Amino acid sequence: MAEVILMPKLGFNMNEGKLVKWYKQEGETIEKGEKIFSVETDKTNIDIEATGDGIVRKLFIEEGETLPVTLPIAIVSTAEENINEILSGAMAQLGREMPEASSALEKEDSRRIKITPRARRAAAENNLGIEGLNITGTGFDGGICEKDILEYLASNKVKVTPTARAMAKSKGVNLDEIQGSGINGRIMKADVEASINLENEPREAVVRSASEGKFTSDGKEILEELPYEGVRKIIGDRLSQSKFTAPHLYFTQKVNLEKLLETRKEVNTVQEHKTSVTDFITKAVVKALVKFPELNSSLIDGKSIVRYKTVNIGIAVASPTGLIVPNIKSSENMSVLALSKASAPLFKKAREGKLAVSEYTGGTFTVSNLGMFGIENFTAIINPPEVGILAVSATKDEALVVTHADGSKTVEIKPMMNIQLTVDHRLIDGLLAAQFVTDIKNSLENPISLLV
């Protein structure tokens, strides 16, 4: 039976998805469990597997396209199955018109070129007009595949420099109409420029120099230009919404880590799995969240405050696509050692970009530790819908006034660390936040309390 593949909703805040890659093309067979496509979420790319066997009969969107969640993106069925009705319904959902002839649903009209999305993109990238191509397709039902386009290019290759090709594409210039001035007729950048009436175009913010460089109109040389899209844009949009929707309030404490470092050293001598300072900090935060459940909560849709008994502690990690926050589920009853063992595989998967959606969603509070990079102080933005985040800075030897039992005071050098709590002031008052961050400080300065 035919299956309509939908753009999946993979997160609480996910309203649309960007299709990153098709692993299968129209006409190709697929088996249950095989990867069919990859979709971009707000934190990483997720590979989606087929739920049954069949043939990919229709792909509705191309790689790089964005579509609202739950809309159809593909149809998988047997080769013999009539998908007219299903295809019609899917096209209606997408707001697209059906081909005029009903027979085109199963077999394209002879006047229409059958071509896969990947092949169409390859042709567009090389400025090939689809209608004018004389290519025999080797794909499903005679359709043109990407390899057909590549073979055509190899046998009819227009000699052109990469810069000239990029400029021709951006300006809509047909390379077939340009006579190259380079060696063996190679098309150069100057040849493309000569075919463009620059005088009739408005001056751009970015102009090119004669030496192939890129400069702004006021003379700054450009290293590279990147589109603001994908994961970086999603993260930016979410953090902007958090910063300008939730009134952020900040509370900073200095922590003396002398006892904690000594305790950690002693603990690690008697156990095979070594714990880190971050593990102790995580335990201190979890302990404080149990004591102050107001910080272990969410504001849902601006209408209700949900406080959680379960503590899903998130720890920010740098990944290939940006900062991601894997979270340790049900951490409220875990020891320092258990937290360390639970976090290690999550950190590894995060750095490799292999986290599952369930491993970085559902958090109730976040810890962001930049101490390993030598950062002495920083301010973190709340990860919605949470109501707080703790920023942890580097440990640094500093002069500290120490008061002794007899009342005397001395100045001593101690390993000191800054921690800064950010809270959503809509839900958390100053007094509660101060008590929370002070509780964390007290736990870290008396680490034996974290081991009992």
pLDDT tens across the length of the chain (452 residues): 788 999 888 765 677 888 999 999 988 999 988 999 999 876 678 889 898 899 999 998 888 888 888 888 999 998 888 888 888 888 877 776 554 433 434 444 344 567 777 777 777 666 566 655 667 777 666 778 777 777 776 665 556 776 777 778 777 777 777 777 665 566 777 777 777 643 344 444 444 444 567 777 777 788 888 777 766 677 777 778 788 888 999 999 999 999 999 999 999 999 999 999 999 999 999 999 999 999 999 988 778 899 999 999 999 987 766 778 999 999 999 999 999 999 999 999 888 888 888 898 889 999 999 998 899 999 999 988 899 999 999 999 999 999 999 999 999 999 999 999 999 999 999 999 999 999 999 999 999 999 98
Helix or strand or coil: residue 276? coil
Q: Domain 230-450: give its CATH architecture.
A: 2-Layer Sandwich (3.30)
Q: Let me know: does 119 contact 145? Beta carbons within 8 Å.
A: yes
Please give the CATH architecture assigned to the domain spanning 3-112.
Answer: Beta Barrel (2.40)
- Taking the domains of the chain in order of start, what are their residue ranges? 3-112, 162-216, 230-450
Of the residues 248, 273, 404, 425, which is catalytic? Answer: 425
Domains 3-112 and 162-216 share a fold: no
Between β-strands 248-256 and 409-424, what pairing exists: parallel, antiparallel or unpaired? antiparallel
Q: What is the DSSP string of 144-192?
A: BPHHHHHHHHHHSPPPB-HHHHHHHHHHT--GGG----SGGGPBPHHHH
Rounded to 5°, the CA angle 57-60-66 comes to 145
Question: Active-site residue 425, yes or no?
Answer: yes
Query: What is the fold of 162-216?
Result: Dihydrolipoamide Transferase (4.10.320)
Q: According to the model, what pLDDT value does residue 390 have?
A: 97
Predicted TM-score (pTM) of the model is 0.59
User: Can you give the pLDDT at residue 201?
Assistant: 45
Residue/partner pairs of 226-232 with CB below 8 Å, 24 or more apart: 230/18, 230/40, 230/321, 231/40, 231/42, 231/43, 231/44, 231/321, 231/322, 232/321, 232/322
CB environment 78-90: b (16+ within 10 A), e (fewer): eeeeebeebbeeb
405: exposed, middle or buried (Cβ count in 10 Å: 0-12, 13-18, 19+): exposed
Phi then psi for residue 57, to 5 deg, are: -90, -30
Q: Quote the CA–CA distance of 298 and 306 in Å, as a whole number.
A: 5
Q: How many helices (H) and strands (E) does the chain have?
A: 11, 20
| Contact predicate 257/32, CB 8 Å | no
